[in-house]
Amino acid sequence: MKYYSTNNSNFKVDLKTAVLKSLPPDNGLYMPERLNSLSSDFISDLSNRSFQDISFRVAHTILQDDLEEETLADIIEKAINFKAPVVPITEDISTLELFHGPSLAFKDFGARFMAELMSFFVKDETNELDILVATSGDTGGAVAAGFAGVPNINVTILFPKGKVSPLQELQLTTWGGNIKALEIDGTFDDCQALVKQAFLDEEVNKKRNLSSANSINIARLIPQSFYYFEAYKQLEDKGKGVVFSVPSGNFGNLTAGLIAKQIGLPVHRFLAATNSNNIVPHYLATTTYEPRPSVQTISNAMDVGKPSNFTRMMDLYGDLWEKIKTDIEGYFYDDEDTRFGVKYIHKTHDYIADPHGAIGFLAAHQYLKDNPGYKAIFLETAHPAKFLPVMNPLIGEFPIPEKLTVLREKESHALGMSKEYGEFREYLMDSKGS
């Protein structure tokens, strides 16, 4: 399989280049040049297959012969080693819990798969790889957990000062070793802009072997399509059809769902559920795409004003709004709605959903009200304990997983930095910076 740039379909590279370079030089995003289909037998036989087996088949269908089957199987066995259970909430709405990995967010799937793939690709290289990653909260923790201690790879995490939850921050700053955290005096968009600028900076690239772990990396996207199949498998009553409600920020998760559909998963519709940063729902309602500076919300991992995967969504549908509209419907909720959602799910259905998942629930609920007979699955994208300052005032105290409580005992280190590129550049050019 070759991977082309969304800015120039004639520019093509192999998997290793797409994964290690992350971005094409023309500032587009990599996409597989073809999406092959799974057989209908595979879909009807899903219930007889394990999550790892499903993951292998889906990955193989996307990657074709980019990797030896044994290598791919080995990567999947190491990366996709925790469950993704579907839990019923109402008669028609279930949740797909994606928080059973090491950092308790769905981003573990992408980060672990990417870490395994990258370490496979660099194992014979002499040059160290420098991974830059901007995080709105959960990416950094997942990437840090995926790459901690991996030889020949250094990770620099940029996070917006004061805009990630205290436990999320500890997931970024308590690693040491090959994981560095930079606390940027700005927003997530500023962090993302710094990373993008570094990639386009020739001099920095001469000095550093840069790569990115953001959802722009194709290696993160691919494994996120696995669990749509796994969820579909687990849902016994599929009603008139299955709808996935995806709490979205940079739209990597939703794009992975679209890929799952294109390669054969029978999804009736996707719901693009956002907070007040409603760029994509606005586009779906009006045909106008208007990125704007992000606003801060209580679902902070979705505070994105310029969703990076929008380009890929356009690419998948050939820029045709009418076509996109048949597959995706947009919903957005402000913080007051979100708080209501968290309380409502807890009180009425005795389930603790985090603020992001609550937005997914609200969209599913609204969709089913207007379209009865379908079954909806909302993605529970992170464990609620990652957002205690928001959650506790709404539903009181609840148990915190040990994976999080142990962080409070660890030492935290982050280097403070302004959002000006010059300072970040200096950090990158200083060879001792990593």
Ligand X SMILES: *Cc1c(COP(=O)(O)O)cnc(C)c1O
List residues binding ligand X (CB under 6 A): 105, 107, 137-138, 215, 247-253, 301-302, 356, 381-382
| Shortest Cβ 56–ligand X spacing (Å) | 23
DSSP 330: E
Residue type for position 153: I
Are 219 and 32 a contacting pair, CB within 8 Å?
A: no
| Shortest Cβ 109–ligand X spacing (Å) | 11
Angstrom distances, CA of residue 390 to CA of 48, 92, 170, 248: 40, 27, 17, 19
User: Which is nearer to ligand X, 6 or 215 (by Cβ)?
Assistant: 215
| Shortest Cβ 308–ligand X spacing (Å) | 8
| Sheet (strand 8-13) strand order | 8-13, 3-5, 30-32
| Shortest Cβ 38–ligand X spacing (Å) | 23
| Shortest Cβ 103–ligand X spacing (Å) | 9
Angstrom distances, CA of residue 386 to CA of 50, 133, 353, 357, 361: 29, 20, 11, 12, 18
- Nearest 5°: the CA angle 15, 308, 188 is 120
User: Which is nearer to ligand X, 13 or 314 (by Cβ)?
Assistant: 314
Find where tokens 């690239």 sit. 205
User: Which is nearer to ligand X, 171 or 209 (by Cβ)?
Assistant: 171
User: Which is nearer to ligand X, 278 or 381 (by Cβ)?
Assistant: 381
Residue nearest to ligand X (CB): 138
User: Which is nearer to ligand X, 72 or 170 (by Cβ)?
Assistant: 170
Contacts of 3 (CB under 8 A, 6+ apart): 12, 13, 14, 15, 17, 18, 30, 31, 32, 33, 218
User: Which is nearer to ligand X, 25 or 305 (by Cβ)?
Assistant: 305
| Shortest Cβ 332–ligand X spacing (Å) | 13
| Shortest Cβ 149–ligand X spacing (Å) | 23
Q: Which two tokens stand for residue 370?
A: 């207007």
CA separation for the pair 326, 344 (Å, rounded)? 30
Residue among 298, 277, 358 at smallest CA distance from 164: 298
CA separation for the pair 157, 191 (Å, rounded)? 9
User: Which is nearer to ligand X, 129 or 272 (by Cβ)?
Assistant: 272
CA separation for the pair 231, 245 (Å, rounded)? 12
User: Which is nearer to ligand X, 117 or 359 (by Cβ)?
Assistant: 359
Are 79 and 223 a contacting pair, CB within 8 Å?
A: yes
User: Which is nearer to ligand X, 154 or 338 (by Cβ)?
Assistant: 338
User: Which is nearer to ligand X, 215 or 294 (by Cβ)?
Assistant: 215
Contacts of 366 (CB under 8 A, 6+ apart): 331
Residue among 238, 345, 340, 246 at smallest CA distance from 301: 246
The torsion angles phi and psi of 8, rounded to 5 degrees, stand at -160, 100
CA separation for the pair 177, 180 (Å, rounded)? 8
| Shortest Cβ 386–ligand X spacing (Å) | 7
| Shortest Cβ 39–ligand X spacing (Å) | 28
| Shortest Cβ 224–ligand X spacing (Å) | 7
